[in-house]
Amino acid sequence: MLLVTGGAGFIGSNIVASLNEAGITDIAVNDILGSGPKWRNLAQRRLAEFVPAADLLRWLEGRKLDAVVHMGAISSTTEADVDLLMEHNFILSVRLFEWCAQSRTPFIYASSAATYGDGGAGFVDDWSSAGLARLKPLNPYGFSKHLFDQAVIERIARKDKLPPQWAGLKFFNVFGPNEYHKGEMMSLVAKRFDDAKAGVPIALFKSHRDGIGDGEQKRDFIYVDDAVAVVRWLLETPRVSGIFNVGTGRARSFRDLMTAMFAALGRAPDIDYVDMPEAIRNSYQYFTQADMSNLRRAGFAAEFHTLEERVKTYVSRYLDRADRFR
């Protein structure tokens, strides 16, 4: 049996879907469903068990699992309750890591590109103690993820007992089906699709930096299927451990992203450029791009699809249909 924490969430539910599509149904999902539509992320899935959040550590007692895929977290980059972030993103992660070490269970977990802060130290997934110490996250969410990365590396340095395989994944800007419960944390494609289809112009931020055009702020956008492919590869390659970036290795602009969405609708781009709020101008990130060298050296050889290909898939298979859920 595999345990997927956060298995009803965005990336987690796509991992469960991918496993199901490969014929794997012996899966336990741990999550909080609440009263919203998040349950629909699992509506077409087959599970062996559903584990409520409060029952997880008790449920693990005496269990034998093939792997723990830990995607469960508070993923809002604007969450201000630091105690809540520490409880869910750090303390629980430490407990799961230690359980996997004691039970000899492979452990794959979600870190985040938010650990890189403003990118001043680059986007190289150097997971040495010195490499991690150079990073300065900008918000409590990034801090909580970074702290756990450091805790893992400190245990390695102390030669503590470790899971037989451990891997942290620094996800960059992931987009795709089943992100709809994330509200303002959804990708810009999901947030702006209905407006674009209705003929409403899409607003992007003007640039307030010399040499960068309006809408040319760049991110490393990666489609969720490509991110899930990395998780699946790690599950099938137990010799590989480490902390790895998960992006495409190619930064693209927000204008590129919206142009691809309009193209998928068969329409010319209709974009307005608006002033960036002064409150965020000095801290706004103009560029992120994953260095994918470590993952490639570890043996991951699959190609990442282009932004245009993946936006077209997202629009045609999900966003432009009555049932948008995978």
Cβ-based neighbour number of residue 131 at 10 Å? 15
Domain ranges of the chain: 2-175+221-249+289-305
The helix (H) or strand (E) run that includes residue 175 is strand 173-175
**Considering the domain 2-175+221-249+289-305 in this protein, what is its CATH number?**
3.40.50.720
Instruction: Give me the pLDDT at residue 280, please.
Output: 84
Unique residue bearing structure tokens 């699809």: 305
CB 326 within 8 A of CB 44: yes
Nearest in space to 182 (alpha carbons), one of 169, 174, 202: 174
HSE at residue 78, side-chain half, CA atoms within 13 A, is: 6
Instruction: Give me the pLDDT at residue 282, please.
Output: 80
Please identify which of the residues 116, 141, 223, 314 carries the catalytic annotation: 141
Instruction: Give me the pLDDT at residue 221, please.
Output: 98
Distance between CA 89 and CA 272 in Å, rounded? 37
Nearest in space to 108 (alpha carbons), one of 296, 246, 297, 289: 246
**For residue 183, what is the DSSP state?**
G
Distance between CA 80 and CA 114 in Å, rounded? 15
Residues in contact with 213: Cβ distance below 8 Å, sequence separation at least 6, in sequence order: 207, 255
Three-state SS at 58: helix
Q: Is 141 part of the annotated catalytic residue set? A: yes
Nearest in space to 243 (alpha carbons), one of 326, 323, 169: 169
Q: Show the tokens assigned to 295.
A: 């993952």
CB neighbour burial string for 46-62, b if at least 16 within 10 angstroms, e if fewer: ebeeebeeeebeeebee
DSSP 215-247: T--EE-EEEHHHHHHHHHHHHH-TT--EEEEES
Instruction: Give me the pLDDT at residue 232, please.
Output: 98
Amino acid letter, 41: N
Residues in contact with 324: Cβ distance below 8 Å, sequence separation at least 6, in sequence order: 177, 180, 318
Residues in contact with 67: Cβ distance below 8 Å, sequence separation at least 6, in sequence order: 2, 3, 105, 106, 107, 108, 165, 235
Per-residue pLDDT of the chain (326 residues; tens, 9 = 90+): 999 999 999 999 999 999 999 999 999 999 999 999 999 999 999 999 999 999 999 999 999 999 999 999 998 888 999 999 999 999 999 999 999 999 999 999 999 999 999 898 999 999 999 999 999 999 999 999 999 999 999 999 999 999 999 999 999 999 999 999 999 999 999 999 999 999 999 999 999 999 999 999 999 999 999 999 999 999 999 999 999 999 999 999 999 999 999 999 999 999 999 999 998 888 788 999 999 999 999 999 999 999 999 999 999 999 999 999 99
Please identify which of the residues 182, 191, 206, 312 carries the catalytic annotation: 182
Instruction: Give me the pLDDT at residue 238, please.
Output: 97
Instruction: Give me the pLDDT at residue 137, please.
Output: 94
- Give the helix, strand, coil percentages of the chain, each rounded to 5: 45, 15, 40
Instruction: Give me the pLDDT at residue 30, please.
Output: 98
Distance between CA 276 and CA 261 in Å, rounded? 22
Nearest in space to 14 (alpha carbons), one of 298, 224, 307, 195: 224
Question: For the purposes of burial, counting CB atoms within 10 Å of the CB of 194, is it exposed (0-12), middle (13-18) or buried (19 or more)?
Answer: exposed
Q: Is 145 part of the annotated catalytic residue set? A: no
CA angle 236, 102, 83 (to 5 degrees): 95
